[in-house]
Amino acid sequence: MSRQMLEQILDKHQWLERKGRQVEIESGQALQFRCVRCGRDFLKVLPSGSLYAVYVSIVSFFRLDDKVTARWLSEACPGKHLPDDNNDRMRQIAEIRVSQGKSATSKVTSRSRGSSPKRLAT
**pTM assigned to the model:** 0.74
Local confidence band at 1 (pLDDT 50, 70, 90 cut-offs): low
Q: Note the pLDDT tens digit of each residue in 61-102.
A: 999 999 999 999 999 999 999 999 999 999 999 999 998 764
Percent of all residues in the chain with a pLDDT value above 90, rounded to a whole number = 59
The closest alpha carbon to 55, from 68, 70, 42, 72, belongs to 42
Cα distance between residue 77 and residue 59, in whole Å: 26
Per DSSP, the three-state class of 21 is strand
